[in-house]
Copies of this chain bind each other. A is one copy, B any other.
Amino acid sequence: MRQEFVAQMDTLDQDLLRMSRYVRRAIERAIEAMDTCDVVVAEQTIDADDRIDELADHVDDQCLQLLALQAPVATDLRIVITSMRVSQTLERMGDLARHIAQIVRQSHPHKPAPEPIQQKIDQMAELVVQAARNVVDALTDRDIKLAGRIQDEDDKIDDLEIEINKLALDESIELTRPQLSNVLMLARFLERFGDHATSVARRLAFQIQGIAVAHAQDFSTTQE
């Protein structure tokens, strides 16, 4: 029973990591499509989101089965619950990458926004791609320091959103209505993606710290 449980927890962990890599790939491709005005890459990103959704459902099922059949406690319970939530958040990040790719597709063969706004969006996008990469690494290495950095870096993403929204309302920059719509939506989707990356980082940190606390308690109990 215990052996089976450990194997199931391991599968769950592997699937969640795979999901995070799919999401990283999705946002990398969406931004690559924006950089190169490549509608084929945009289409591929849109189509690939189904795979993330399927994996999210699968992770969900695994968590429910683990809860129902193994009734995990303490650290294990915390891991299962965190996995459910991280899966839900990653699924949403996949949706946002798809939304970005849809804007790229719609504005093809042009970039979604004119300069100097596109440049700011590109800066924001770079930070968001980095956040997705950091999420994969933090989850893989259970790296609490990196989880902290993801949360810190999110402030820069938020600042850029504010800056872009200001530029969008600056009448001295010429913008068509579809361009203004692209700018506002891209800024929003990128900002949300960053928020979700932060949420994954926070949950991971909470899980690792919780486990650290639990271990310390185990230890102190042993000492008594």
Interface residues of A (CB under 8 A from B): 64, 67-68, 71, 73-74, 77, 81, 84-85, 88, 165, 168-169, 171, 175, 177-178, 180-181, 184-185, 188
Contact = CB atoms under 8 A, between A and B. Distances in A.
Contacts of A165: 181
Contacts of A85: 88
A74 B67 contact: no
Given A67-B81, A85-B88, A175-B177, 6 more contacts: A64-B77, A64-B81, A67-B77, A68-B74, A71-B71, A184-B185
Contacts of A77: 64, 67-68
A178 B184 CA distance: 11
A67 B80 CA distance: 11
A81 B177 CA distance: 44
A181 B165 CA distance: 9
A160 to B, nearest CB: 17
Contacts of A188: 185, 188
A169 B181 contact: yes
